Amino acid sequence: MKNICLLGATGSIGEQTLDIIKAHGDKFRLAAMTFGKNVEKAAEIIETFKPKYVAAGDERTYKKLKQLSFSYSFQTGVGEEALIEAAVFPEADIVVNALVGSVGLIPTLKAIEHKKTIALANKETLVTAGHIVKEHAKQYDVPLLPVDSEHSAIFQCLQGENPKQIKRLVITASGGSFRDRTRKELEGVTVEEALNHPNWSMGAKITIDSATMMNKGLEVIEAHWLFDLPYEQIDVLLHKESIIHSMVEFHDRSVIAQLGTPDMRVPIQYALSYPERLPFEEAKSLELWEIGQLNFAQADAERFRCLQFAYESGKIGGTMPTVLNAANEEAVAAFLSGRITFLEIEDIIEKALERHQAIAKPSLQEIREVDKDARRFVQTLLT
């Protein structure tokens, strides 16, 4: 029995993680969980899975939770301190970081210090402070298991292989909601259009990131840290069917790919069950004859500017990816609330990056200060 701490239980990845726990009740148990503001959904999860620790995102939500009655008693907490308490909860073996944004960084570091296995779905943790997270994981001998379908695919392709013989990684991208539109056709697109992802069921922020291709840019930076490869050996390939989740090319020109129907529960389950594979009857079998053909195209840097920003920020390193991520989070939030247009997301990120002087090997405190400063700067652009 593996005891799970689920950070971000009411989000898209959180819900799908719960599907896996429910499907394999003899293998997994929810020991601790956190959630943001959705008390109703959290209450259903609590009553169904009966975790021993529950953390709410803010004081108002916490008070709502305390007013509810449950069939059993459990520990509760609120805010960042409670996030950390959940991440280091003594009974938890695996911490699934399904949070959205840089809020996932500190709980991950604390969980590593407490020797918890990390199943990482939170890109921003490695994007914001990859060097610190990797040093931490090495120091405490803690595995970082990727949950993103692309990184899980690479991880699976590398089983039994010599990492020193990798020529390159090829991360596939659906292209998001607007993959077939020109830049001119992106002028005036609505939030509803941007949230209409053709392949995947994801949360609002990640879906917008997919539409701008920032999601893929963040994945490139994450892959750099997870697999210890320079950016020159990490490519992005447009593949609108999302059947090939990623590929690895080796020095002998052999290419190994991981394929499957688009279902995030499959990589989530692999991270939880690793090194075993468990059956999952709810996932649809891949029938290539039904699909008929697979399409591929190069990722155009001029068309997808956010992808180019990510490559450039990653190569500069230090605090530049921190600014990239912070500016993107603020800009996406502004778009979702109707304060800016879709294309202005890119403009805001570019201005934040141009303003910043990167710190080469920042401390955790410097990273947090740079993150706050970048967010403040973006807010000045929005007033």
Check the annotation: does 130 bind a ligand.
no
Check the annotation: does 37 bind a ligand.
yes
Check the annotation: does 81 bind a ligand.
no
Check the annotation: does 69 bind a ligand.
no
Check the annotation: does 38 bind a ligand.
yes
Check the annotation: does 73 bind a ligand.
no
Check the annotation: does 249 bind a ligand.
no
Quote the CA–CA distance of 243 and 351 in Å, as a whole number: 36
Check the annotation: does 97 bind a ligand.
no
Q: Which amino acid is at 237?
A: L
Check the annotation: does 350 bind a ligand.
no
Quote the CA–CA distance of 239 and 237 in Å, as a whole number: 6
Check the annotation: does 15 bind a ligand.
no
Check the annotation: does 325 bind a ligand.
no
Q: In this structure, are residues 85 and 111 in contact, taking their beta carbons and an 8 Å threshold? A: no
Phi, psi (rounded to 5 degrees) for 77: -155, 175
Check the annotation: does 182 bind a ligand.
no
Check the annotation: does 11 bind a ligand.
yes
Check the annotation: does 149 bind a ligand.
yes
Quote the CA–CA distance of 275 and 255 in Å, as a whole number: 22
Check the annotation: does 150 bind a ligand.
yes
Check the annotation: does 77 bind a ligand.
no
Report the binding-site residues for Mn(2+): 148, 150, 219
Report the binding-site residues for NADPH: 10-13, 36-38, 122, 124, 203
Report the binding-site residues for 1-deoxy-D-xylulose 5-phosphate: 123, 149-150, 174, 197, 210, 215-216, 219
Report the binding-site residues: 10-13, 36-38, 122-124, 148-150, 174, 197, 203, 210, 215-216, 219
